[in-house]
Structure 1
């Protein structure tokens, strides 16, 4: 069941966003719980279990919407945040808390279903698991926990993000792994390397840097295609 919070200090906009949200969720036929708040303080004080999605007005009278989002993110790193505002000037603040979209109220109806579709997709992705098949047995991990996969002939090593920086060796080809992960946001950036694009924080024609600080080479021969694929993927988020 999806748990969704809507926070806007305007009763009119709160009801409008609620109507659009219920309408979209009815179309995709999912179970959900929807909670409405007219202040950031009430939202933060009322949380009993984590929300999957939060739609927040940026310009809350009593509390800054960015501060509310920051506190939600601190206690629930998996939450999908969407900002709603009358002012385009506030849009850059969304990057501070990794909001997936910034919706302008005067274009709300036109863009709402598309943005909610992105949000629901992200929530579902966070619950998906991938089986790393090792000699000792299967290890189930989230797609987002895989930093990159390194191949060497008929063996690959999965490098994960966690406190122990775990890695797992498997008897399979990188091509086979790419066939499974290529549709899940992974990109072959070098002959022996398959990277999770979620973790790329720097990319040029010769190398890239991941969120954990790992530096990896980029194929010079395929650099244009690699950068184009990555830019298209980022633009689709």
Structure 2
């Protein structure tokens, strides 16, 4: 389904609904592909499209408290259709491996029963640790600092790439930038030859005709950002 800077495009969603899907899975906040956040205005339009349908809405909130803008999800407008999955692994530590799931009773019970068939379980120690962190003023301040730091890194790398003639598609939010390239495979080979591992957009693209691009992660502080920008700029022109 197509998206733009404001979120999912209503007309594209309407077209997708003609195929009678059972679920609509999307990222309302810090889209992992575009870095954009759905606006309240677009949320209202999307809600109008999904209202009075039997489609289950699944909101994937992977960035959680690290997102820059307020969360504009469909749960407040369509509570009987919406399941929210919010991860705390990025904001509070990857070792937690925890997410909170909320929604109407029927899909919640289905998820609980399905989980019982496997060996999966969630540590009570980690649950208690997260509960404490979510109510700690010191932790909230630390997450705020992290949010600000990630924003600085995104802006810095976007500006360094722009200085080299490479304009990223979006750098509103998230822990990475998508750098447009002429040839994804060759771009990844160029980076690999210099010891840099990256991912390409084609690995996660479902629709054909996507713009070729490679990911530049900003989750870790780059020691030599200028050199990284040089490499990505060189890779973007590889044929």
TM-score with structure 2 length normalisation? 0.25
Q: Which has the higher contact order (CA 8 A, sep 6+)?
A: 2
TM-score with structure 1 length normalisation? 0.25
